[in-house]
Amino acid sequence: MGSSRERPLLALALALALALVAGCGGVKGVTYATTSTPPTTVLPLVTAKPAAGEGSGRPECDPPTRFDARRRELRGTTQQGDVWGLVLGAIPAHAGERVKIVWRVTGAGPLRVTLIGPRGRPVPLESGPTPHGASTFNRPGDEWGTIFRVDRAGCWQIHLARRGTTGDVFLRVLA
């Protein structure tokens, strides 16, 4: 395995080799998109398949993502990794309200959050995602805060993505 002085060099060489291999080509059948966050990061665009059990929500909001009112938590639907939301406000929200959610998302790199309204179009966030330091929200991953306004009733999708994790939360907003 080598001496203890050689191990860090071996780990660095392995990490560089993996980065080089990852940058040389894509995965067949996967569509890639870039983000404007410097440096440019390439992330696969994947719509999470709803899974049975906690966290599963469907795009039609039938059902919406499960909300644990006691803990004030949402668990996003993911294919891999974890997406958790701590809701600071009322769920279900009503049209015209601001919704603040603290997210814990596994993976690496910056968090991208896309809010999609009931008409299927992206809606800008009022704030965030803003990285947070230490907190009492004890779930896996790094923490960010977001604030958005839901201006109409219907099903709202929140898509979250980092390298290694993509997830979706579906919120039903009342009139």
In the block, tokens 């800008």 appear at: 124
Task: Give the model's pLDDT for residue 57.
Answer: 60
- N- to C-terminal Cα separation, the chain: 64
Domains and CATH numbers, the chain: 6-42 (no CATH), 43-173 (2.60.40.10)
Summarised one tens digit per residue, pLDDT across range 23-82 is: 433 333 333 333 333 333 323 333 333 333 344 566 678 889 999 999 999 999 998 999
Q: Order the strands of the 108-116 sheet from edge to edge.
A: 77-78, 165-173, 154-163, 108-116, 122-123
Cα 9 to chain centroid distance, Å, stands at 33
Q: Which amino acid, residue 87?
A: V
Q: Beta 122-123 vs 108-116: how paired, if at all?
A: antiparallel
pTM of the model: 0.68
List phi, psi (to 5°) of 62: -130, 80
Spatial separation of the C-alpha atoms in residues 110 and 44, rounded to whole Å: 14
